[in-house]
Structure 1
Amino acid sequence: MRYLNVLSLVVVALVAAVLGWSINYAVSGQNQALLILPWGSLVAEGAAAAVLLYLGLRLRAYRDPEGEERRRRRAPADRKPYDPVWGVGTAAAAQAVAYYGALTAGWHAGLGVDQVMLLGVRTTQEPLWLCVAQIVAGVVLMVIGWIVENWCKLPPEDPDAERDTPYGGRQDPYTTGEGGYARHQ
């Protein structure tokens, strides 16, 4: 899995803006409905951001030494550690939310350009405000996705270990806890 890249998020937003403006321009001449997400979608986007933040904060608490100590003090001793599969899932969800935010912000920025051109003609400005709200929500989702993905990165176990060894920084290919089961005699 590749890490989020600011350039790729910007490219996705720009492509979505161009597509949003051009498709809206094509259908607006045919008296079709605007292609803006409704106000209710902001609730769903907020819920997705809240769930992602919750998962990211849980993962961060398990990853950081201070969070581990706090967790041990307040949690029962038999509580299982954070599952690595949840960490990968959280990282994937963070990337998905960030890309969705880029698409949403870009798409509605393209539609907003058309709405700004109609300021003098249109009596209601609700579509413009809806575009602005979706752009802000998209940027917030991108930032939350970026932050949570960074929380999902594990710190290196041993920063002083040699990186040129064939075992990725470890001197010995076998850990001490294997008991010799994986060793070839």
Structure 2
Amino acid sequence: MKAMRPILLAIITVILAIVGWLASVLTTRYSMATPVLPPSALVTMGVIAALTLIMGIRVLRWRNGKKKTMLNPILAARTLLLAQACAYAGTVLLGWHVGIVLEQLRLWNLRSDQGIFWLALIMGGGGLVMTIVGLVVERFCRIPPEDLEGGPGVTGTRHGEAKGEGEYAYRGD
């Protein structure tokens, strides 16, 4: 499994910001409701980020040798996938709400109620937290190069890949 690239996450954020801005422009033009998640979505975002962080800390503790029992490789793989999904979902939410915030800034003086602006800003912050948690937990799942058989830079037995780069804690061979 390959590590996430922050540049790809930044590109996704910019594309979704443009799409969110266009959606906000169109909904404003046609007197429709602004497409912002409701405040209850913050609870869901917080639960997902907390669960991802808790599972990541379990993998980190095992990786650092603080646990005596063997880590279930399926749990480690699921933690990695959850971290990556959390980062991608946070990136999408961040980009979408940044686009809405940019459109609401343009209309700041024309609106009497700025509640949508603040809600979109908070949702964008929640997306940023999810992205950061996902990236951090993905780092937790990496195996340090000195823990691999043969040390860093040694060619692996499968498909000739170099070990030490892109290896994760689930050690599934």
Tell me if TM exceeds 0.5: yes
- From 113, 135, 145, the equivalent of 1:124 is 113
Question: 1:141 is matched with which residue?
Answer: 130
Point out 4+ residue stretches in structure 1 off by more than 4 angstroms: 164-170
Counterpart amino acid of 2:154? Answer: R
Are the structure 2 counterparts of residues 97 and 161 from structure 1 closer, same or farther at C-alpha, using a change threshold of 3 Å?
A: closer
Question: 2:142 is matched with which residue?
Answer: 153
Does residue 89 of the first structure (1) align with residue 78 of the second (2)? Answer: yes
Indicate the larger mover: 28-37 or 157-166.
Answer: 157-166
Gaps in structure 2 of 5+ consecutive residues: 164-173
Equivalent positions of 1:110-121 (< 5 A) are 110-121=99-110
Give the secondary-structure state (helix, strand or coil) at the position aligned to 1:82: coil
Question: 2:88 is matched with which residue?
Answer: 99
Percent identity reads 28
Gaps in structure 1 of 5+ consecutive residues: 73-79, 171-185
Give the secondary-structure state (helix, strand or coil) at the position aligned to 1:37: coil
Query: How far apart, in 1, do the equivalents of 2:153 and 2:10 lie?
Result: 36
Give the secondary-structure state (helix, strand or coil) at the position aligned to 2:111: coil
Question: 1:163 is matched with which residue?
Answer: 154
Query: How far apart, in 2, do the equivalents of 1:150 and 1:16 lie?
Result: 25
Are the structure 2 counterparts of residues 162 and 136 from structure 1 closer, same or farther at C-alpha, using a change threshold of 3 Å?
A: closer
Are the structure 2 counterparts of residues 123 and 44 from structure 1 closer, same or farther at C-alpha, using a change threshold of 3 Å?
A: same
Question: 1:180 is matched with which residue?
Answer: none
Counterpart amino acid of 2:35? Answer: L
- Residue 166 of structure 1, CA deviation: 5.2
Equivalenced residue count is: 159
Are the structure 2 counterparts of residues 12 and 162 from structure 1 closer, same or farther at C-alpha, using a change threshold of 3 Å?
A: closer
Are the structure 2 counterparts of residues 162 and 7 from structure 1 closer, same or farther at C-alpha, using a change threshold of 3 Å?
A: closer
- Residue 164 of structure 1, CA deviation: 4.5
Counterpart amino acid of 2:99? Answer: G
Question: 2:171 is matched with which residue?
Answer: none
Equivalent positions of 1:11-30 (< 5 A) are 11-30=11-30
Counterpart amino acid of 1:132? Answer: L
| Superposed CA RMSD | 2.0
Are the structure 2 counterparts of residues 119 and 64 from structure 1 closer, same or farther at C-alpha, using a change threshold of 3 Å?
A: same
Q: TM-score, normalised by structure 1?
A: 0.79
- Residue 160 of structure 1, CA deviation: 3.8
